[in-house]
Structure 1
Amino acid sequence: MSIINSLINLGPSVMMPIIFFILALAFGVKIGKAFKAGMLVGIGFEGIGLVIGLLLDSLGPATKAMVERFGLNLTVVDPGWPVGATIGWGSPIVPIVVFGALIINILFLVLKLTKTVNIDIFNYWHFLLTGGVIYAATHSIAIASIGALISFIVVLFIADKTAPKIQETYDLKGVSFAHATSAVYVPIGIAINWIIEKIPGLRDIDANPDKITKKFGVMGEPLTLGTILGAGLGILAGWDITKVLTLGVKVAAVMVLLPAMINVLVEGLITVRDAAEETLKKKFPDREFYIGLDTALLIGDPAVLATGLLMIPAALLLAVILPGNKVLPFVDLASLVFLIPMTSPYCKKNMFRIFVTGLVVITLVLYAGTSIAPYYTEAAKIANVTMPEGANASGGMASLVGGATTPLGWILIKLSTLFR
């Protein structure tokens, strides 16, 4: 665990270059080229982190202002995914689950049950969070560990099944995404797309960014879309013209810079992927392998990022009108984009269909958060995580982005309570 904790503390921008450098050498890449590939991956992750940080830092004050402006008074506070990650990595099941997941992944690869080599170690926190909440509900390390590992296995299979479609849509060969939040919502995207296809009129709505750009020229480009959406969120926040325009420019910058940073990462990834493909085909001619990565690589797509921004005011509206909901969307409002990137290919990159999928996803998340809030709050206490300063703790907390509030996480948590 000391070794794993040291790797986690390095962060993706340092951890991933080391991993990819070692992988490149293992697959026969010369040391200079391997170093460059690893560094490009690291620079790409650092760039993605900086741009996403710009997005979250820009939207954070706007979402807080929206919450205050509309006077939302809900008792379960959303403290954000960083708190969820801290709960996951701070739970007592970490040693069992982390090593268990690594062993399961290797075993499944040997038995040809999966093609995904999941090196996205930092995002293990998603199923560790589910396990941490289960532990808070049951006080059983065994039950919590089993629940977390079931989540890992399910998502591993989803990563395999979705990889071909995602690779084709995003032009990312040889990768998959075993992300225990994004992956779970793929069946919802498939179902929504199927339903819309059956409804005359709705099925004819084509909000694909590429087609919008062709039709409207510069007015349909991502930078224009980002400016409009950013300014619109600033207006909803009740800001003055200076802040509105500033937010518009910052969101436009994210829409332009994020794909550029992803391209840098992909350049390094291609070197390792090609070498891996050549080596593995020689040793395993009948096998295909995918490198499991973070869905941060997918959110730079204009359809995904634009829809994620539209989901911010939609989440606040749903929180108010949904009967029985107690969750106040707060810190994770700016991170809602991470809920939908894997559904986009199954919605034909149509922003209308992705948005409808997002509404369903947010509804499920709000009700799941309301349901598990007591256990989530207890899990935070066990992991020595305190409620964010100034937040109303009367009803506890539950994050919007994280494995615990997905349908799979909620089912596992509820089932676990039967064995207390």
Structure 2
Amino acid sequence: MEIINTIIGLGATVMMPIIFFVVGLIFRMGIGKSFKAGMTVGVGFVGVNMVINLLLDNLGPASKAMVERLGLHLTVVDVGWPTASTVGWGTPIMAATVIGFLIINALMVFLKLSKTIDVDIFNYWIFLQVGALMYAVSGNFWFSVIFTWIIFVIVLKVADLCAPYIQKEYNLQGISFPHLAGMAWSPLAIAVNWIIDRIPGLNKIDINAERIQKRFGALGEPVVIGFILGLLIGILAGYSPDKAVTLAMNIAAAMVLLPKMIDVLIEGLLAVRDAAETQLKKWFPDREFYIGMDTALLIGDSSVLASGLLMIPITILLSFILPGNAMLPFTDLASLVFIFALVTPFVRRNMFRMLIVGIISVIIILYVGTDIAPWVTQSFTQSHIDLPKDFSAVTNMTGAVSTWIGWLTVKIGQLFNMVF
């Protein structure tokens, strides 16, 4: 665990190159090619993180300014995924749970129960935060650990099922996304898509980045869409013209640069995947394997980015008008784009349908966040996270605890307490 903690502490930009270097060696790429592939993945992650930080650093203050302009005074504050990740890694059940993840994944692949080799170790925090929530509710160490293991197994199986659709839509072969928070909204996307397909008129509405670009020419390019959406957010935030234009330029830059940085990351990833595929076919004939990755690979899509930007003012408005809501969208407003990563493939990049899924998702997030806030807050306390001043309870919007999964976790924990 000391080794794992040390690697995790280095962050994804260092951890992922090490992992891919080791994976390359295991699959006999040779030291030189393995090192190059690992470094390429690392450089890609550095680039992706730089652009994401550019996006979040600019959208964060604008989002907070919109919240302040509306004068929202709600009691449950969204502290964001960076703080939530420390809850996962700081929970008392972390060590046993993570060791279990590694063993479970190896056994499932070996026994042909899963095709996914999950190398996205950093995002184990999402599973761990759900486990921390269960520990806060049930107070039982091993029940919480086993519960989190079961979720991990289910996610690996669902990742296998979803992989062909995601690979086709994003043109990413041999990759799956065992990402619990993003996967929470895939069933909703499938349901919304099925319903809209059967509603005359609505089923004809098709808005996607490619169609916009074809219809409006240069005005439909991602750089222009990013600029317009950035300008809109700046105006809603009450920015002065110069600040609004600066925000718009930075968002336009992110719309252009993020896909290019992801291409660099994928270059290294594909080199390892190809070597792994070749070697695994020798070791295990007639078997298919997927490399489990972070949904950060998917948010460079223009439809995903544009939908995420549009959801920021919509989310603030919903938090203001929904009766009974006590959750204040805050730090994770800029990260709403991640909701759409595993929604897009099931609505065929149709931004109209994506926004409907996004609105329903945010409504669920706000009400779940309000309902289970005391338990989420207790899980923060157990992980020795200080609560923000002036707020009695905390949560985060883009993790898994404010989804239906978090709500179900609390109810199962309460049922466990009633029975035992």
Into which bin does the TM-score normalised by the smaller protein fall? over 0.9
Aligned match of 1:378: 378
Which residue pairs with 1:418 in the alignment?
Answer: 415
Partner of residue 297, structure 2: 297
Q: Which residue of 2 aligns with 1:406?
A: 403
Matches within 5 A, 1:14-413: 14-388=14-388, 391-394=389-392, 396-413=393-410
Q: Using structure 2 for the length normalisation, give the TM-score.
A: 0.97
Q: Distance in 2 between matches of 1:125 and 1:284?
A: 31
How far, CA to CA, are the matches of 2:407 and 2:138 in structure 1? 14
Consecutive unaligned residues in structure 2, runs of 5 or more: none
Give the C-alpha shift of residue 147 in structure 1: 2.3
CA deviation map 1:222-265 (0-9, x unaligned): 10110011110000001110011001000000000000000000
Give the Cα–Cα distance (whole angstroms) in 2 for the partners of residues 158 and 366 of structure 1. 25
**Aligned equivalents of 2:110 and 2:367: distance in 1?**
39
Cα pair 2:133 2:409 within 8 Å, conserved: no
Letter in 2 for 1:313: P
Q: Tell me how far apart the structure 2 counterparts of residues 276 and 314 of structure 1 sit (CA, whole Å).
A: 43
Counterpart of 1:7?
Answer: 7
Deviations 1:47-91 (A, max 9, x none): 111110011100111011000001111111101111111111110
| Residue identity opposite 2:124 in structure 1 | Y
* C-alpha separation in 2, matches of 1:102 and 1:258: 31
Shift of 1:30: 2.8
SS at the partner of 1:375? helix
Structure 2 counterpart of 1:156, one-letter code: L
Deviates more, 1:62-71 or 1:103-112: 103-112
Q: Is the 8 A contact 1:186 1:342 kept in 2?
A: yes
Answer yes or no: is the 8 Å Cα contact 1:41–1:265 preserved in 2.
Answer: yes
Partner secondary structure for residue 403 of structure 1: coil
CA distance in 2, matches of 1:289, 1:312: 37
Aligned length: 417
Q: Which amino acid aligns with 2:413?
A: S
Detail structure 1 runs of 4+ shifted over 2 Å in the superposition. Answer: none
Instruction: Give the whole-Å Cα distance in 2 for the aligned partners of 1:22 and 1:191.
Output: 40
Q: Secondary structure at the match of 1:77?
A: strand
Residue by residue over 1:148-180, the C-alpha shift from the partner in whole angstroms, topping out at 9 and shown as x without a partner, is 222212211111111111111111111100001
C-alpha deviation, 1:367, in angstroms: 1.2
SS of residue in 1 equivalent to 2:291? strand
Residue 185 of structure 1 aligns with an amino acid whose one-letter code is W
CA distance in 2, matches of 1:307, 1:191: 19
Deviations 1:25-50, CA, capped at 9 Å, x for gaps: 22121322221111000000111111
Query: Which amino acid in structure 1 is aligned with residue 100 of structure 2?
Result: G
Normalization by structure 1: what TM-score? 0.97
Structure 2: distance between partners of 1:165 and 1:4: 32
Matched residue SS, 1:178 = coil
How far apart are the structure 2 equivalents of 1:220 and 1:387? 43
Gaps in structure 1 of 5+ consecutive residues? none
Shift in Å, 1:146: 2.2
1:405 counterpart SS class: coil
Q: For 2:100 and 2:182, how far apart are their aligned partners in 1?
A: 22
Describe the SS at the equivalent of 2:395. coil
Shift of 1:143: 2.1
Letter in 2 for 1:30: G
Deviation string 1:118-155 (CA, Å, 9 cap, x unpaired) is 11111001010011111111211122212222221221
Distance in 2 separating the partners of 1:215 and 1:236: 27
Distance 1:316 1:154 in 2: 33
Post-superposition CA distance 1:276-307 (Å, at most 9, x none): 11111111112110000100000000000110
Check conservation: 2:66, 2:237, Cα contact below 8 A. yes
TM-superposed CA distance for 1:181, in Å, is 0.2
Q: Which moved more, 1:110-119 or 1:136-145?
A: 136-145
Q: Secondary structure at the residue paired with 2:16?
A: helix
Identity of matched residues, %: 54
Greater displacement, 22-31 / 291-300: 22-31
